[in-house]
Chains A and B, each alone.
Chain A
Amino acid sequence: MTITVRFFASLADRVGRREELISNEGIHTARDAWMHCVSDIPIPGNALVAINQEYSDFDATIKEGDEVAFFPPVTGG
């Protein structure tokens, strides 16, 4: 299973990268994807997650080919 994991803004700075391709049969949720990529940093309490560019939650199921994005609260406008 291949998943694209993306990080934005201050979260990208914190984890030290913006994108990672992961392939692991044990990954079922967005939370699993975070733990696989960033095992040494707990998910920040204010972090948001999007799956395939739609807001989702950390326990949502992900599937082959999905894009999972993690980012801090938005500050546009």
Chain B
Amino acid sequence: MRIEVLESAFDPWREVFKQESSLSPGSFGATAVFVGTMRDMNEGDTVTQMTLEHYAGMTEGHLSQLAQQVQADHEILDIVILHRVGTITPGDPIVLVGVWSEHRAEAFEACEKIVEYLKSQAPFWKKERLSDGADRWVEHNTAGPRQVLN
């Protein structure tokens, strides 16, 4: 299991490959991956840059507790959660959640649960820079596809 907040750019697909390489071949039958990427548009405005802030310590602690809980509840073999902080530009990856299990149902469910928890509970905040140079804080995340948290 790997939970990390990163201050520099990362390649989510390379990280998935790296994490999967540590698993025994044949031990897993399903891999569910979510990658969140910065868009160049939000609420009708062009966004040129974004700065991500987090509450160091609380973030990692909560994500670790979550990952351990999800692993126990859903018979998950392994989990990777990586999240950027600092300044990024459109097209940069923000978050990676990868889940490995024997069967797809557990992998899909666990991956979605982690993503929804992360977006609604983990103490990260985004500040956007708009095309006119003005900065604004993102006030709320978009709603998830459905209720997955208890």
Contacts and interface: CB of A to CB of B under 8 A. Distances in A.
Interface of A: 6, 8-10, 13, 50, 53-55, 69, 71-77
B36 A50 contact: no
A72 B137 contact: yes
A9 B58 contact: no
Interface residues of B, number: 28
B120 to A, nearest CB: 7
Nearest to B141: A75
A9 B141 CA distance: 15
Contacts of B125: 8-10, 71-72, 74-76
B55 A77 contact: no
Contacts of A76: 52, 54, 83, 94-95, 118-119, 122-126, 141
Contacts, number: 74
Main secondary structure of the interface of B (DSSP, over half): mixed
B84 to A, nearest CB: 10
Interface of B: 36, 52-55, 57-58, 61-62, 83, 94-95, 115, 118-127, 137-141
Contact of B58 (A10, A69, A73): A69
A73 B115 contact: no
B117 to A, nearest CB: 9
Given A10-B125, A71-B123, A77 B137 contact: no
A71 B123 CA distance: 8
Given A6-B55, A77-B122, 8 more contacts: A8-B53, A54-B58, A55-B121, A71-B125, A74-B120, A74-B141, A75-B139, A76-B119
